[in-house]
Amino acid sequence: MSVTNESGTEESSQDETQDKEDIMEISEGRAIINYIKDLLKTRRIKRTVDRIGNLRDRVAKLKAKGKDVEGLLYQYGEYVLEGRTFIATIVPSERKITDWQKIAIDLGASKQKIAKNTRTFDVMAVRTKRIKK
């Protein structure tokens, strides 16, 4: 229903038009806010993925350094070494690995074949624990 005001314009159609424009602005505003939220979420995810990758790289490098240092400890020929903060216990051992995939390819493998495809190598573990003071 439209009402004509003193200036001769219909108020209800102007109000309806303004309401529609306001609704459109609100919808566009929400769309922009949602876009920004999605963008921030994507950036956060990318940063998190990069952070995990960087941490894993650092862990791999530290593990490699740790193996080098363990090798140095092994050269001392003692099984318990004490530092200022930690005690290291060296546990030498031997590990055998059988290449079962190769054996499975050859049907009817004999014990000699298994022995031929078994490798033996030395393994050393270093366990550390904090010295209680």
Residue pLDDT tens, the chain, 133 long? 444 555 555 556 777 777 777 777 788 878 888 888 888 888 888 888 888 888 989 999 998 898 888 788 777 777 888 888 888 888 777 778 888 878 878 888 787 887 788 888 777 776 777 777 6
Q: What is the DSSP letter of 132?
A: P
CA distance 72 to 31: 61
pTM for this structure? Answer: 0.44
CA distance 130 to 133: 9
Cβ atoms of 51 and 43 within 8 Å: the answer is: no
